[in-house]
Amino acid sequence: MAKAVGKITQVIGAVVDVQFEDELPAILNALETDNNGNRLVLEVAQHLGEKTVRTVAMDATEGLVRGAKVTDTGGPITVPVGTATLGRIINVIGEPVDEKGEVKAKTRRAIHAEAPEFSEQSTESEILVTGIKVVDLLAPYTKGGKIGLFGGAGVGKTVLIMELINNIAKVHSGV
């Protein structure tokens, strides 16, 4: 099957409208275009009618022009999964950003997926050592859990997040 080809009709920040000649790509499909020599991935968010889709760009849109060619990949955005990704830092489109070269994973999965059944999830509670003593002592994080970070302006939320990224992704190899 030939991949659908369209053209950009409007760019408003990270939102890009693309018009297709024939068939519209499915919602959540990945589209690709060239932005000044760089591959830009767009994700279909909405069908607008008139053979037009509204997409969200996964990177900067500076330099995109109306009329630029866009190609439907025929599927959603996928990222590498498995043991090859442990300790690696990848972006939303599956490209490594840790300067350690290509991720050699055998399997790729879509970024949008159903959550695993509760029975499939681990019930073990293991503490994630962050390397930040006050966090590890007063409010330890559990591995695989979600955390919330709230605070007023200028109290150090960004500093704490940057330190977590440094300690967990670099020092502890992301595990």
Q: What is the pLDDT of residues 67-92, one digit of tens each?
A: 999 999 999 999 999 998 888 889 99
Contact between 42 and 13 under an 8 Å Cβ cutoff? The reply is no
* Alpha-carbon gap, residue 122 to 119, rounded angstroms: 8
Residue 67 lies in a domain: yes
pLDDT at 129: 86
Q: Same domain, yes or no, for 61 and 87? A: no
CATH number at residue 58: 2.40.10.170
Q: Same domain, yes or no, for 35 and 95? A: no
Residue 149 lies in a domain: yes
Question: Which range of residues forms the domain containing residue 96?
Answer: 77-112
Q: Same domain, yes or no, for 54 and 91? A: no
The predicted-structure confidence for 127-164, as pLDDT tens digits, reads as follows 888 889 999 999 998 887 788 889 999 999 999 999 98
User: Total structural domains in the chain?
Assistant: 3
Query: In which band, very low, low, confident or very high, does the pLDDT at 173 lie, cut at 50, 70 and 90?
Result: low
